[in-house]
Structure 1
Amino acid sequence: MWTTLLLAIVRSILIWIWLACKPVLGWFLIIIGLIGMPMPIVNGLIFLMLGIALVGPRNRIIRWSRVHLKLFLYRWAALPTPLIGTLGRIALEAARQISRQHRRLRWWWISRPRRRAAA
């Protein structure tokens, strides 16, 4: 009886510590990723994606940057300059494809328990 109570207390303390440290670790990885992007040795994209996953997509700063990146891509694609506008349209289409694939993967992941229950 005492061991289960002690394990429950330790587990709740560890969960509390993880919830407190997760954003700090996420922002640290985002900073490392941004610093490592132009460097040839450190692959900054991996750290950047891990940091965003830890901080979460519902963070106000991350949502703001995603919206403004999409607005930038729309403006870039609308430029009348042939080469720059074409590159902007290619980048916009790539962003749309990534968004579609992310939504499909998310729908697949959410419907996974239903498929398992049906099988």
Structure 2
Amino acid sequence: MTDDCLFCSIVAGDIPADVVAENGQAIAFRDISPQAPTHVLVIPRVHQPDIGSLVEADPAAATGVLTLAREVADEAGGSYRLVFNTGADAHQTVFHCHAHVLAGRSLGWPPG
């Protein structure tokens, strides 16, 4: 856990979030600025800056994130997109690994 990390504070319960699901490795909560009817963030309980770092440091936590993301997507029904932004140039703004689960509308390609 990192003291100045927003998502670590959510994991610790110090900052409220609209939690929709959780497991032993991860927490899923609604994005405060949704880009689709379903826009949920799935974060590991352990702090790692991105998905590559998480896989190297804690493969079980990475699996927990992916498993929970799939459960959230299944609840949304139909098709979904799973996005991991990695690095500032990819518009990652919180440097605690997180997946965006987007669903509920046609998402088109290419994104953005």
TM-score norm. by structure 1 comes to 0.28
Max radius of gyration: which structure? 1
Q: Larger helix proportion, structure 1 or 2?
A: 1
Q: Larger strand proportion, structure 1 or 2?
A: 2
Structure with higher RCO (Cα < 8 A, 6+ apart) = 2
TM-score norm. by structure 2 comes to 0.29
